[in-house]
Amino acid sequence: MNTLWRALCKQVRKRRAAPVADITSPRGASLLRNPLYVRMLSSRAFLAPGRGMDVTVSAWLAIEATDEPIGIAAVGAIRLMPFLIAGLAAGSIADRLPRRRLIQYSQSGTVLFSAAMVALAFLDALPLWALFIYVGCIGFTWAVEAPPWLSYMRGVVGPGNTTRAVALESSVVIGGMVLGGIVTGVVLAFIAPGWVFVMIMALTVISLVSLLNLPVAAPGAEPTVATSRSLMEGIRLVARNRILVMAAALLAVTHMFGATNGPLIPVFAAEHEGLSSARFGLLLSAPLIGSGIGALTIGILGQSIQNPARVLSAAVISYHLMIMLFAIAGFYWIEFFALIAVGITGIAIGNMVVTLLLTHAPDNSHGRMIGIVISISGIVPFAGLAAGYFSSVIGPSQTMLMFAASGLVVSTVVVAAAPRIHRGQIAIAE
C-alpha cells in the first residue's frame, strides 16, 4: 500500500511540474479551450453551491436563535469582518508564495470549520455566539482565498481575456450559490441543519480534489522578483493612477452605503409573516440570480466594453437606486425583482473594479491589488452592524433608504469629480 501511495504522489508531482507557459489564452480565444481555466471552473462549480448553502443556513439559524434585527444582521456582517485585515495580508502573501497552495489551504479550513458545525448541530448545542464564531472563521477562509485565486486565474487566461474570464467565473460562482441557497431553503423543511453542513463539507472536498491537477505555477501568475514588497507600495500603486483611485473610491462608497442590504435582507424576510423556508431562500438568492444575469451579459459583451470606468460609474448609481426601490416596495415580488437588479449592478461594479486593477497594474502586484479590493469589502460588516442598530431604532426600511440615498449622493459626487475619465480623455496608464 505504501508503495502504491508513493507512486501516486510521484505522478501528481510530475503533473504539477508540467510546463504551462503555452496554455495562456490569446486575446479573444475561447476560454473553454484552456484546460487550466476549465479545471478552475470545475472546482468553482462544486465550491459555490456549498457557499450558497452556508449563507442561507447561517441566516436561517440566526432567525431561529433571535428576534433582534441587529443579531440577525450581525451574522452577515461578522462573515465579512476578516476581509478588512485578511484581504490585504493575503494579497501580499499571494505575491510571494505559490497561489494554488494558498487556495487549497483556505478551502481545507472551510472543511474543518464545517465539520465543527456538523458536530454542534447534531448535538443540539448551537447558540448564537457559536454561529458568530463560525461565520467569522468562514469569512476568514474566503478572504484569504480571493487574492491568490483571481491572480492565478489572470495568469492562466492572460491580460486580454481578464474581463471575460472574471465574468464567466462569476457566473459559475453565482449560479452555484443561487442553486445552493434555493436547495437549502427547500431541504430545511425536511432535514436538520446539520445535514446541510455535511453537504457543504462534501462539496468543498470535491472542489479540493479538482484542484489537484492544477500546476503550482500558472503562466504569469506566480511571483518572480517582486518590485513591490510591502502593502503600502501596493496602495501607492493605486494612488498614482487616477482611474484606479476613482474605482477604489466608488467601491468603498458602494460597500459603505449600499452593501448593507445583504445583512438586512433576512430582517425584511422575517417581516413577511408565514414566509416559507423555500421563499426565504429564494429572496436571499435574488441578488445572486441578478449577479448571474449580469455576469453572463458581461461575459458576452466583455470584448466590446471600451471604457470600464464609465460602466462602473453607471452601475454604482443604479445600484443605490435599486436598493431604494427595495426599501420602499413592501411587496414580496417587487422586493425580489429589485434585488435581482441589485445583483446585476453589483456584479458589474465588482467586475469592472477587478478588471481595472488586474489589467492596469504591474503583474507582480496583482495579489496586492485584489487584497485592496478585499480589504475595502471589510467596510461592509461595520456598515452592516450600524444598519442593524438603526433598524432596531427606526426600522429596516427607513435604515436601508437612508443608507442608499447617502450612497447615491456621495457616488454622484465622485463621478462628477472625474468627467475626463468617463469621456475616455485620460489614458489608463496615466
- SS3 of 221, please? coil
Please compute the mean of the pLDDT values over residues 43-57 and round it to a whole number.
90
Question: Scanning the structure block, which residue is given the C-alpha cell 433576512?
Answer: 266
pLDDT beyond 70 at 387: yes
More confident residue, 380 or 251: 251
Interval 135-148: pLDDT, tens: 989 988 888 888 88
Give the pLDDT score at 341.
Answer: 92
Please compute the mean of the pLDDT values over residues 188-215 and round it to a whole number.
87
pLDDT band at 225 (very low <50, low <70, confident <90, very high): very low
Contacts of 107 (CB under 8 A, 6+ apart): 47, 141, 145, 204, 207, 208, 211
pLDDT beyond 90 at 103: no
Contacts of 149 (CB under 8 A, 6+ apart): 40, 99, 103
Task: Of 292, 268, 110, give the one whose Cα is nearest residue 204.
Answer: 110
* Cα distance between residue 193 and residue 21, in whole Å: 45
Q: Are 275 and 407 in contact (CB under 8 A)?
A: no
pLDDT beyond 80 at 249: yes
pLDDT band at 206 (very low <50, low <70, confident <90, very high): very high
Q: Classify residue 364 by its DSSP letter.
A: G
pLDDT band at 408 (very low <50, low <70, confident <90, very high): very high
pLDDT beyond 90 at 199: yes
pTM: 0.65
More confident residue, 183 or 230: 183
Q: Classify residue 32 by its DSSP letter.
A: G
pLDDT beyond 80 at 399: yes
pLDDT band at 351 (very low <50, low <70, confident <90, very high): confident
Q: Are 174 and 394 in contact (CB under 8 A)?
A: no
Give the pLDDT score at 47.
Answer: 92
Contacts of 256 (CB under 8 A, 6+ apart): 379, 383, 407
Please compute the mean of the pLDDT values over residues 345-371 and round it to a whole number.
76
H runs (alpha helix) in 273-395: 277-301, 308-329, 332-359, 366-377, 379-394
Q: What mean pLDDT, rounded, does the chain reach?
A: 76
At 309, list the grid cell: 470606468
Give the range among 22-31, 258-267, 395-404 with minimum mean pLDDT: 22-31
At 43, list the grid cell: 472546482
Give the range among 188-202, 300-314, 414-428 with minimum mean pLDDT: 414-428
* Cα distance between residue 22 and residue 350, in whole Å: 29
Class of domain 34-422: mainly alpha
pLDDT band at 205 (very low <50, low <70, confident <90, very high): very high
pLDDT beyond 80 at 261: no
